[in-house]
Amino acid sequence: MLRIKNNMIFYELWKDEMGERIVPVAGDLSKVNFGLSEGEFLDLARKVSVIYHNGALVNFFYPYTVNKGANVFGTKEIIRLATLYRVKPIHFISTAAVFASEHNDSTIALEEEMPGYNTNIGIGYVQSKWVAEHILQIARDRGVPVSIYRCGRVFSHSKSGVCQPNDFIWNLFLGSIEAGVFPDSSPEIEIIPVDYVSKSVVYLSQQNEHIGQNFHLIQTETISFQTFYHAALELNYSLKLVPYEEWMDSLQSKHVLDKSKDSAKAIGSHLLTNGVFNDNQIILSNRKTRRLLSKAGIEILNIDITVIKANLSFFERKGIVRKH
């Protein structure tokens, strides 16, 4: 419980009354029964009435074989938990990247679609989410009510700027500040506020008539990585623009890309050009999702320089970044 409390304090979310509503269950998604005893697992299956599956190993550098345990086998165990004693709805948090490079012409991927077989997904984490979705579709076909929420790149809170610092984009941003350099050119990024995602999942999951459907929680507007540069400049950080290769070398020297691995720079470059910044090649429809959410007054808020400045202020409060 202390770990949960400390984490929520870090993200400025904790309220003392929350302690009465949280029952921690320490486990491991990659293990049988989540690492619980058979009795503990069965007791959990008896008690829960709905499952929100947002647990995953998220690492863009790890291959599929490493991600498979928590993300694929863990999903199988979630299905088993959902079908013991009585059937329970599963609300699965996935990624829009499962359609990566599949719809890169004028085709639009609708919410009802399942991603087809695709050899162009080069990131192990995304591959594991692709497989997990198809396993859940099998469960859905057999009568388990499975809702899938495909998210874009989840970013900070749209107002407070509070966010987690371990995302690859944030490592690039904070590493660029530490190195004092930003690339003089960069593609656009699709990022979506975390408060929009959480509100959307909570609302949609409580609409009984829509349980068992797919939803796309994506941003339709993009933002340039250089907006991060201008936000930092406005907060008086000392920075300069440099050519892309020089920027990559600087990040590697700051261990943003692990230079203990010979292939780190190549992997990082691949992520930047194919797996992290270029999600705008994926054309996803979110028409149904936005229509349903608009009924509840839930609208997407764009991330702009004001939000990014709030992000930096949050990192400063937490001692993660400082001016030099």
Residue 271's pLDDT is: 55
Residue 23's pLDDT is: 93
Residue 282's pLDDT is: 63
Does 266 have pLDDT greater than 70?
A: no
Q: Which residues, listed in sequence order, are joined to residue 323 by a DSSP beta bridge? A: none
Does 27 have pLDDT greater than 70?
A: yes
Does 281 have pLDDT greater than 60?
A: no
| pLDDT 10s digits, 65-118 | 999 999 999 999 999 999 999 999 999 999 998 987 554 455 688 899 888 876
Determine the average pLDDT of the residues in 134-150: 97
Q: Which of 270, 225, 223, 256 is nearest to 100 (CA)?
A: 270
Share of the chain above pLDDT 70, in %: 88
Residue 302's pLDDT is: 83
Share of the chain above pLDDT 90, in %: 60
More confident residue, 177 or 52: 52
| pLDDT 10s digits, 159-182 | 899 998 877 788 788 888 988 999
Sheet holding 146-151, edge to edge: 51-53, 90-95, 146-151, 214-217
* Strand, helix or coil for residue 233: helix
Q: Which of 146, 11, 129 is nearest to 72 (CA)?
A: 129
**Which tokens in the block code for residue 109?**
């991927």
- Indicate the range of 102-116, 135-149, 211-225 predicted with least confidence: 102-116
Average pLDDT for the chain? 87
**Which tokens in the block code for residue 258?**
């692990």
Residue 157's pLDDT is: 92
Burial class, 228, CB count within 10 angstroms (exposed 0-12 / middle 13-18 / buried 19+): buried
pLDDT grade for 280, boundaries at 50, 70 and 90 = very low
Going by the DSSP 8-state scheme, the letter that residue 320 receives in this structure is S
Asked if 115 contacts 98 with a C-beta cutoff of 8 angstroms, the reply is: yes
Residue 102's pLDDT is: 53
Nearest-angstrom CA–CA distance, 90 and 323: 45
Nearest-angstrom CA–CA distance, 175 and 252: 9
Compute, in degrees rounded to 10, the torsion defined by CA atoms 187, 229, 314, 21: 0
pLDDT grade for 279, boundaries at 50, 70 and 90 = very low
Determine the average pLDDT of the residues in 239-255: 82
Determine the average pLDDT of the residues in 236-241: 93
Residue 162's pLDDT is: 93
**pTM listed for this prediction:** 0.89
Residue 315's pLDDT is: 92
- The CA R_g of the chain, rounded to the nearest whole Å, is 20
Residue 166's pLDDT is: 79
Counting other chains too, the contacts that 196-199 makes at CB distance below 8 Å and 24 or more residues apart are 196/158, 196/298, 196/300, 196/301, 197/149, 197/151, 197/154, 199/298
